[in-house]
Amino acid sequence: MANIYSRIAGTGSYLPPNRLTNQDLVRQLAERGIETSNQWIVERTGIHARHFAAPEVTASELGVQAALKALEAAGVPASDIDLIICATSTPDMVFPSTACLIQQKLGVGGQAAFDVQAVCSGFIYGVAVADAMIRTGAVRRALVIGAEVFSRLLDFNDRTTCVLFGDGAGAVVLEASDQPGIVASCLHADGRQSGILCAPGTVSGGSVLGDPTVKMDGRGVFKLAVTVLEQVACEVLQVAGRDASCIDWLIPHQANLRIMHSTARKLNLSDDKMIVTVGEHGNTSAASIPLALDHAIRNGQIQRGQTLLLEGVGGGFTWGAVLVDY
């Protein structure tokens, strides 16, 4: 019996129309008595702008727009999808899952649908799970989405975090193939590091307990991120039996340009082999990798036949990588 693999059949993304530049944000923060500057933000992060969803717009609404574009690119109707996975830290509600709500908005039902919560690594986790299910023959086509309205989790009195994040969604359609597309994946987490990046709030008895806004130890996150991203990149290449020379494009989680450049250097990759969208999108958490992937495919940077290294790191602390023959 021939081996079953999964390949990327189509990608899509969506950004809410409200684009907020650093200057826009600086003015809004000044009204709160919070001082920062465009220069301060750019030097530390590489971010120039981000998109914020309107108050009534939910993660599922962003996610369904990205999903529709991915389905169109793959040339398949939603009814042909056997599995829907949504990676998000900003679900529409406690339950049902955002994946089920996207399923409803796509006008389909019956296929498995669930959310993955691994924060900024969520899309990597989702792709790895979908790939495993396709390889077993359990499903033939999967829709994997990263969708976030991270602006809802921001404390606009904390200039070290509120300038970092944005809203958006990205999606891929994976389908069964007799040729490897997803070559290898590696996933990790270390809950002992949960305190350095978290949103420590929950719902109980009809009230919010704790503080459900982003709290981050920036120095701790930076140090851990550059270490584990190098390690997991080397690990996934080893699993695949390859070395870094095979990589045509590095698509890292778009969190901080300094972290991204550090990862590329440690892999001996030039900066022009790295897809960078953080400057315009900010950190869109689970949406950042599929957003960057779709952006690079649609603008012609990424071509069929090239090899991609996708990797992410996020609160949990979670991290992972996927090697893709596109």
Active-site positions?
Answer: 120, 253, 283
Residues 291 and 240: their CA atoms lie apart, in Å, by 25
In the block, tokens 């994040």 appear at 165
178: number of Cβ within 10 Å: 9
CA–centroid distance for 205 within its chain: 32
CA neighbours within 13 Å on the CB side: how many for 23?
0
Q: CA separation (Å) from 117 to 3, 48, 89, 149, 290?
A: 30, 27, 6, 14, 16
Residues 240 and 243: their CA atoms lie apart, in Å, by 9
Give the residues across from 207 on adjacent strands: 204
Kindly state the tokens that stand for 281: 């999108």
Residues 296 and 276: their CA atoms lie apart, in Å, by 9
Contact call for residues 38 and 24 (beta carbons, < 8 A): no
Residues 247 and 326: their CA atoms lie apart, in Å, by 11
In the block, tokens 């498995």 appear at 112
